[in-house]
Amino acid sequence: MSDLLLDVCQVSKTFTRGGLLSGQRIAAVKDVSLQLDAARPEIFAIVGESGSGKTTLSRMILNIEIPTSGKLLFDGVDLATLRTGADRLAFMHKVQPIFQNPFDSFNPLKRLDRYLFMTHRRFIASDGRITPEMAVDEALHKVGLSLKEVSHRYPHELSGGQLQRVAIARALLANPKLIVADEPVSMIDASLRISIVNLFKTLRDDLGISIIYVTHDLATAYYVSDRIMIMQKGSVVESGDARTVLNAPQHPYSRQLREAALLPDVAAGL
Amino acid sequence: MTQAETMPGELPDDAQPILSVRDLQAHFRTDRFGVKRDVKAVDGVSFAVRRGEIYGLAGESSSGKTTLVRTIAGAVKPPLDVVGGRVDFAFLPGYGGLRRAPAAEVARIRWRHLSYIMQGSMNVLNPVRRLRSAFVDFAYPHIGESRKQFEQDVVAHLARLKLDPSVLAAYPHELSGGMRQRATIALATICRPDVILADEPTTALDVVVQKEVLAMISGIRREIGSSVVLVSHDLGVHAQVTDRLGIMYAGRLIEEAATVEIFRNPLHPYTRHLISSLPRIGDDVPRKGLEGAPPNLADPPPGCRFHPRCPLAMEICRHKVPATLETAPGHRIACFAVNRSEAA
């Protein structure tokens, strides 16, 4: 239908704070545009400090937040036209989120496999040939786990890294075209972080899933992403090929971020 | 003091350390409904901090960093219990830790000699009191001078840390996270303590602010000569400010050396993995993740706690705990694969 998987067209989001008369308007996202190509899956990093609007932007892409102005088209369909539950479900089928803290994304009183089977029931029409167990097991295998390890376990029984993998497996069950990952590794231990980041690369290369990777960590953004967009106070200050932007940042704010990133090179640090 | 000589890793020309921790064991003990759990959060950690140095403690979550710092600060409450070992401060000789010292002594040294910047400490300020009151509450009783003089000292101290004196009139919610964190650091350093324990002081901050706060911590060390114990899971932070670095894994200190040495020549397989897996800007080499997960401390694997994930694991690692030995001057490692002679 369209060559563009995702077309974000000059979107802005303004929040109002305070009372009716003394209200203060805060522009969280100002006039941001970005396009993802349908034919070429990629990892697109959105980088910025807190308050730069990167989470608001990702929530608008997930259709959780409605833009004040501008248009978001996913696969040629305007997100503002999604009115019915069926439309929304079809959208969620193609776009799946992964959130920052895996311990917050799962109810501690529910067993993990229940989430996976619920997602399966919701999105996949059972065709008799593939049982839910097989589908869930397959999704877990894609992230390096198996149903045997996860079934009958509660969230606290798994480490943060494993739990984040389960969250990714849950997102994969819907067979999405786009995954929006909001700070997916910032709560994960250092020894497990890189394996999650490597997993994103595998998803892109083997399953053809595009990933929007929202982060404040320039080093992992450099490591994993193809294109990058640097945001400051709601506006895009610089965007382009990740290698080019991070090796030679042009905008003063990008340069400031690049310098502030603590590199593990002692000589540079002292 | 005599224990200085018996401290492992002590250089002979070293002056007496300001803080020395010997074989400290702190466990979380619970006994609920007849189920006894004993989580060995800190299990036999020894290290010494010299005067005027920034000593870093790194490790992933649940490796016992925070428990170690809490035990040093004497903030021990059930279910946390100190099972063994001692903590000696140069300014509090003879008790083997704040826990055993009389309350009057503890009150004397707290804040004056030892201050503690807690995790998430930008949220410790009382939301309904102005910062000026926080300074009075925390520091005034320890300084013992007139209120007017105290006020002047506070303003001078803030100026030294490049903070505007107007923050004193502000409520915590009126300041940004970075400002609040800097105000808490100012609060922790107003009495010019000998030792500052800083637990993840920059974790919740943005990269740009983080750099400023770290510069402030090194500035404090330079200006007032305090020793700092800096806990962070972020090796970039350690590369930036610390002089020596201890790496913790599952409640034990597995490697300790000068920070430069750790980054240039890590020896323990876990440290080697940590350093090599750090992504760097301008470096496209693919990184490998480490298999497995950190152990459950209620039921840790026997022997070396890293052996189930270790690429160099040998038979001896499965049943014997490696001792922490000094392989090179100032470089201590607990690993049989590195300290071959011990394994033989």
| 270 residues of chain A, pLDDT tens digit each | 568 899 999 999 998 876 666 767 888 899 999 999 988 899 999 998 877 888 899 999 999 989 999 999 998 889 888 888 888 888 988 999 998 888 888 888 999 888 889 888 888 766 667 788 888 988 888 888 888 888 888 888 887 778 888 999 999 888 899 999 998 887 777 777 888 888 899 999 999 999 999 988 888 899 999 999 999 988 999 999 998 998 888 999 888 888 877 666 544 433
Cβ B241–A269 below 8 Å, yes or no?
yes
Is the Cβ of B173 closer than 8 Å to some Cβ of chain A?
no
ipTM above 0.85, yes or no: no
Confidence bin at B8 (pLDDT 50/70/90): very low
Is the Cβ of B288 closer than 8 Å to some Cβ of chain A?
yes
Q: How many CA atoms lie within 13 A of B257 on its CB side?
A: 22
DSSP per residue, A76-127 = TEEGGG--SHHHHHHHHHHEEEE-S-HHHHS-TTS-HHHHHHHHHHHH----
Q: Which residue of B has its CA nearest to A49?
A: B206
Instruction: Collect all residues of chain B within an 8 Å Cβ-Cβ radius of residue A265.
Output: 239, 263, 280
Instruction: Collect all residues of chain A within an 8 Å Cβ-Cβ radius of residue B240.
Output: 262, 269-270
Instruction: Collect all residues of chain B within an 8 Å Cβ-Cβ radius of residue A162.
Output: 293
Q: Answer yes or no: is pLDDT of B13 > 60.
A: no
Q: Answer yes or no: is pLDDT of B5 > 70.
A: no
Q: B56 forms bridges with which residues in the sheet? A: B230, B245
* Token couple for A248: 């030679």
Q: Answer yes or no: is pLDDT of B320 > 70.
A: yes
Chains A, B: CB contacts within 8 A come to 115
Look at residue A127 in the predicted model and tell me its pLDDT.
63
Instruction: Collect all residues of chain A within an 8 Å Cβ-Cβ radius of residue B281.
Output: 218-219, 222, 246-247, 258, 261, 263
Cβ B294–A191 below 8 Å, yes or no?
yes
Is the Cβ of B218 closer than 8 Å to some Cβ of chain A?
no
Instruction: Collect all residues of chain B within an 8 Å Cβ-Cβ radius of residue A49.
Output: 206-208
Question: Rounded CA gap, A48 and A82, in Å?
Answer: 29
Please compute the mean of the pLDDT values over residues B69-91 and round it to a whole number.
Answer: 87
Is the Cβ of B210 closer than 8 Å to some Cβ of chain A?
yes
Look at residue A212 in the predicted model and tell me its pLDDT.
94
Q: What DSSP designation does B92 have?
A: B
Strand order in the sheet with B331-333: B114-117, B195-199, B227-231, B54-58, B244-249, B252-258, B331-333, B325-328
Q: What DSSP designation does B119 have?
A: T
Look at residue A263 in the predicted model and tell me its pLDDT.
65
Which residues of chain B from 33 to 72 reach within 8 Å of chain A, CB to CB? 60-61
Contact B282, A247 (CB under 8 A): yes
Q: Which residue of B has its CA nearest to A157?
A: B296
Per-position b or e across B140-177, b if 16+ CB within 10 A of its CB: bebeeeeeeebbebbeebbeebebeeebbebebeebee
CB-CB neighbours of B290 under 10 Å: 23
Which of B61, B278, B284 is the best substitution to test chain A (most A C-beta atoms within 10 A)? B278
Q: Answer yes or no: is pLDDT of B292 > 80.
A: no
Question: Rounded CA gap, B178 and B93, in Å?
Answer: 36
Cβ B210–A262 below 8 Å, yes or no?
yes
Confidence bin at B9 (pLDDT 50/70/90): very low
Chain centroid offset of residue B119 CA:
11
